[in-house]
Amino acid sequence: MTDKLNQKEVKVIVFQLLDMEYAISVDTVQSIEKVLSITRVPKTPAYVKGVINLRGIVTPIVDLRERFGLTPKEMDDSTRIIIVTLDEYDVGLIVDAANDVLDIPVNAIEPQPAVVGSIESDFVSGVAKVGKHLLVMLNLDKILEPVKRVTSDGF
């Protein structure tokens, strides 16, 4: 992430959504899980898939595809949940596949071009070109802003 820029290389986890590859710093990743049984939580935004029991801790799960406004996809064998740790909470991200751990040279990361796919640009902190891969670096703090009460009147 940005504060790592003064280092020569950053270690990132690479994952896939549709045909794009994304990267988040390995420091924020707590673990990568196979799909566990998710309990739906009513009256939350559609991208909040629910909560899972992560070793005794109730952890909310966000479908990144839906968060980015991409077409949702049924979960399959390659679907992974990446558990990331933010300042105040842990959140699980549903991704199509978690591919790799890479060291990216810092100077390979560039500020995002004006248009990157269909993702809201606030979510992107930069783009890295590694070999023939193009990796989109994500700004997790923005993506995972706390969900305030959506509906206060129930009936």
Partner 1 sequence: MDTNQYLEMFIDESKEHLQACNEHLLELEKNPLDLAIVNEVFRSAHTLKGMSATMGYEDIADLTHMMENVLDAIRNSKIRVTSEILDVVLQAVDYLEEMVMDIASGGSGKKDVTKLVESLNRIEVGGAVVAETAAAVVLEDKGSLKDSLSYDGYEMTVISQSFDQGFSTFEINVKLRDDCLLKAARVYMVFEILEKSGEIVKSEPKVERLENEDFNETFTVALITKEDADVLKAKVLKVSEIESVSVIPVTTDYLMRDTSEESAEETESITPTIIEEDAKKGKRNSGVQSGNKTIRVNIDRLDVLMNLFEELIIDRGRLQSIASEIHNPELNETVERITRVSGDLQNIILNMRMIPVETVFNRFPKMVRQLARDLNKKVELEIIGAETELDRTVIDEIGDPLVHLIRNALDHGVESPAERVAKGKPEEGTVTLRAYHSGNHVFIELEDDGAGVNRERVLAKAIKSGIVTKETAETLTDRQVAELILASGFSTAEKISDVSGRGVGLDVVKNTIESLGGFMSIESKEGQGSLFQVQLPLTLSIISVMLVELKKEVFAIPLSSIIETAIIQTSDIMNAHNQQVIDFRGNIIPLLNLTEIFEIPEQNSESDGYQSVVIVRKGERLAGLVVDSFIGQQEIVLKSLGNYLQSVFAISGATILGNGQVALIVDCNALIK
Residue among 91 and 136 whose Cβ is closer to partner 1: 91
46 binds partner 1 (CB under 8 A): no
Q: Which of 6, 77, 131, 149 binds partner 1 (CB under 8 A)?
A: 149
Q: Which of 91, 102, 109, 119 binds partner 1 (CB under 8 A)?
A: 91
Q: Which of 59, 63, 65, 143 binds partner 1 (CB under 8 A)?
A: 59
Count CA atoms closer than 13 A to 111's CA, side-chain side: 2
71 binds partner 1 (CB under 8 A): no
Buried b (16+ CB within 10 A) or exposed e, 58-87: ebbbbbbbbbbebeeeebeeebbbbbbeee
Left if phi > 0, otherwise alpha if psi is -120 to 50, otherwise beta: which for 18? left
* Segment interacting with partner 1, rule: CB under 8 A, options 43-51, 66-74, 118-126, 134-142: 43-51
> CB–CB of 75/35 below 8 Å?
yes
Binding positions for partner 1, rule: CB under 8 A:
37, 39-44, 48, 50-53, 55-60, 88-91, 144, 146-152, 154-155
